[in-house]
Amino acid sequence: MAKLTGQQVAQHHSKDSCWVIVHGRAYDVTEFLPEHPGGQNIILKYAGRDATEAFEPIHPPDTLDKYLDASKHLGEVDMATVQHDEKVKDPLEIEREERVRNMPPLAQCYNLLDFEAVARQVMKTTAWAYYSSGADDEITMRENHSAFHKVWFRPRTLVDVEKVDFSTTMLGSKTAVPFYVTATALGKLGHPEGEVVLTRAAHQHDVVQMIPTLASCSFDEIVDARKGDQVQWLQLYVNKDRAITQKIVQHAEKRGCKALFITVDAPQLGRREKDMRVKFSDTGSSVQASGGDSVDRSQGAARAISSFIDPSLSWKDIPWFQSITKLPIILKGVQCVEDVLRAVEAGVQGVVLSNHGGRQLDFARSGIEVLAEVMPVLRERGWENRLEIFIDGGVRRATDIIKALCLGAKGVGIGRPFLYAMSAYGQEGVERAMQLLKEELEMNMRLIGAATVSDLNPSLVDARALLGGHYSAVPSDTLGLNVYDPLVSPRFAEK
């Protein structure tokens, strides 16, 4: 069949007849427009044109086959005939590209916040806004990091720490380190290859990876990128249509995922205003001009693509999950001791004390604080081995990880830092970030007098300030402040 030409596609550039090109193929999306979860305006922006760049990070590769009837797949386009409109380059984008050319060499990154500082300068504005944003005033997002500053060490001296071993087991799997790559959505915003970059780096360092439901890569691509006996878990957003959820879970189990993390802190997606502000200015004019869009674009892409998540999910659903899978079930996003006790009673294998990286409920407490609340109660009941406790949020240093393990966590999830390392430096960056954490772990375990993970215990920390109220002073942290992007007020139009 003859290929379509760019001119043929370009004729279908309106709401009444809308074709778009994705990866060199044309699609008739006219009838699909009102159904698009992200609203129709974003598609109309690319009507008659190549939409690949905007499509790619948000949609796994099988999306069009899954959701657009085959009759609307119009075939290949001769891309040599497609006109690329010569847009005037945004001056900010020109400056960004200049910074990319002058990036510090990877060896200059000495810690996780260094990657964040570089990423902030070199990432595309939309990607940075999406990854870095937190809910509302971002109080919880910053608290996640600063709460670790309330825990201090009580080291033991004259312990033989010639050999330090920080390997451990999590949910029955051996792993080289007590941290894992936690699930984060839309990996291709930061790197053209997306989540598989994290998979490859995790393999190099024997680190467990949690695969996100809303990855840019398809689930199978991420599993296919796995090597040897590398361990992967699945993070699950529960669909209103339980048949879909069942299929996802059973497929993950069949493909060798070792645990199921059900996200329980996002019945509705939080408001991330930095993200909204960028998205709004991005689509601003068309949104205001055309009207009639059923989705409020100012909510950002994340909210649009999360509309399938079931807000009615409840404790009553847990037995159903237990009936459809043999995988260990872990509730991700538990935030108080009452719910941990309930999780034990429900017979799940673990919880992640997490507030979703400060992206959901502002004024949710940090994972490390909730851990300090939870463990004494579990120990009192003799329940501390009934489930495994993980925490995530704000972890930037091995000392943060060690503090969590001392207080009783089995492992610690790290999300944004690996995304930033990936966005700035690709796989090599993620590997260096993991290597740096390993070096920090070795040194700091030695310095507190713990040769193995099993030596870490509550007597090695003074965590009283964690539960001493929310206004206890914490030392300020210059590296953290350097990369913290203040929230901004609405911008006036330029003349």
As annotated, the active-site residues are: 237, 265, 356
Q: Minimal distance in Å, beta carbon 99 to ligand 173?
A: 25
Rg (CA), the chain: 24
Given candidates 356, 396, 410, 416, which one binds ligand 173 under the rule CB under 6 A? 356
CA–CA separation, 244 and 241 (whole Å): 6
**Which residue lies nearer to ligand 173 by CB, 303 or 432?**
303
**Which residue lies nearer to ligand 173 by CB, 140 or 306?**
306
Q: Which span (39-47, 81-89, 112-120, 298-306) binds ligand 173, by CB under 6 A? A: 298-306
Who's near 377: CB < 8 A, 6+ residues apart? 337, 340, 341
**Which residue lies nearer to ligand 173 by CB, 178 or 394?**
394
| CA pseudo-torsion sign 441, 447, 451, 456 | negative
Residues 304-323 that bind ligand 173 (CB under 6 A): 305-306
**Which residue lies nearer to ligand 173 by CB, 161 or 183?**
183
CA 55 to chain centre: 19
**Which residue lies nearer to ligand 173 by CB, 260 or 375?**
260
Q: Which span (198-206, 299-307, 326-334, 344-352) binds ligand 173, by CB under 6 A? A: 299-307
* SS3 category, 26: strand
The reply on whether position 141 binds ligand 173 by CB under 6 A is no
Q: What are phi and psi of 201, to 5 degrees?
A: -65, -40
Using left for φ > 0, alpha for ψ between -120 and 50, and beta otherwise, residue 81 falls in alpha
Q: How many CB atoms lie within 10 A of CB 71?
A: 7
Q: Minimal distance in Å, beta carbon 463 to ligand 173?
A: 28
The reply on whether position 140 binds ligand 173 by CB under 6 A is no
Q: Minimal distance in Å, beta carbon 79 to ligand 173?
A: 30
Q: Check: CB of residue 135 under 8 Å from CB of residue 358.
A: yes
Q: Minimal distance in Å, beta carbon 302 to ligand 173?
A: 4
Using left for φ > 0, alpha for ψ between -120 and 50, and beta otherwise, residue 181 falls in beta
* SS3 category, 291: coil
Q: Which span (92-100, 251-259, 301-309, 479-487) binds ligand 173, by CB under 6 A? A: 301-309
**Which residue lies nearer to ligand 173 by CB, 263 or 325?**
263
Distances in Å between the Cα of 291 and the Cα atoms of 183, 202, 285, 297, 300 are 35, 45, 10, 11, 17
Given candidates 211, 214, 352, 430, which one binds ligand 173 under the rule CB under 6 A? 214
Q: Check: CB of residue 131 under 8 Å from CB of residue 374.
A: no
The DSSP bridge partners found for residue 26 are 21, 75
The reply on whether position 483 binds ligand 173 by CB under 6 A is no
Given candidates 4, 141, 269, 437, which one binds ligand 173 under the rule CB under 6 A? 269
Given candidates 9, 151, 198, 302, which one binds ligand 173 under the rule CB under 6 A? 302
Given candidates 274, 359, 365, 403, which one binds ligand 173 under the rule CB under 6 A? 359
- Find the farthest-apart pair of alpha carbons in the chain and give their distance in angstroms, rounded: 78
The count of chain residues that interact with ligand 173, using the rule CB under 6 A, is 8
**Which residue lies nearer to ligand 173 by CB, 151 or 185?**
185
What's the one-letter identity of residue 331? L
Q: Minimal distance in Å, beta carbon 138 to ligand 173?
A: 13
DSSP strands (E only) in 57-136: 73-76
Number of helical (H) and strand (E) elements in the chain, helices listed first: 19, 15
CA–CA separation, 392 and 370 (whole Å): 11
Nearest partner of 349 among 244, 233, 239, 238, judged by Cα: 233
The reply on whether position 324 binds ligand 173 by CB under 6 A is no
**Which residue lies nearer to ligand 173 by CB, 216 or 230?**
216
The reply on whether position 407 binds ligand 173 by CB under 6 A is no
Who's near 126: CB < 8 A, 6+ residues apart? 189, 278, 279, 282
Q: Minimal distance in Å, beta carbon 305 to ligand 173?
A: 5
Given candidates 21, 185, 198, 287, which one binds ligand 173 under the rule CB under 6 A? 185
The reply on whether position 119 binds ligand 173 by CB under 6 A is no
Q: Check: CB of residue 72 under 8 Å from CB of residue 12.
A: no
Nearest partner of 39 among 279, 273, 312, judged by Cα: 279
How does DSSP assign 227-263, residue by residue?
-TT--EEEEEPPBSSHHHHHHHHHHHHHTT---EEEE
The reply on whether position 341 binds ligand 173 by CB under 6 A is no
Q: Which residue is nearest to ligand 173 (CB)?
A: 306
Q: Minimal distance in Å, beta carbon 341 to ligand 173?
A: 26
Q: Minimal distance in Å, beta carbon 357 to ligand 173?
A: 7
**Which residue lies nearer to ligand 173 by CB, 205 or 356?**
356
The reply on whether position 230 binds ligand 173 by CB under 6 A is no
Q: Minimal distance in Å, beta carbon 219 to ligand 173?
A: 15
Q: Which span (8-16, 41-49, 300-308, 365-373) binds ligand 173, by CB under 6 A? A: 300-308
Q: Which residues bind ligand 173 (CB under 6 A)?
A: 185, 214, 269, 302, 305-306, 356, 359
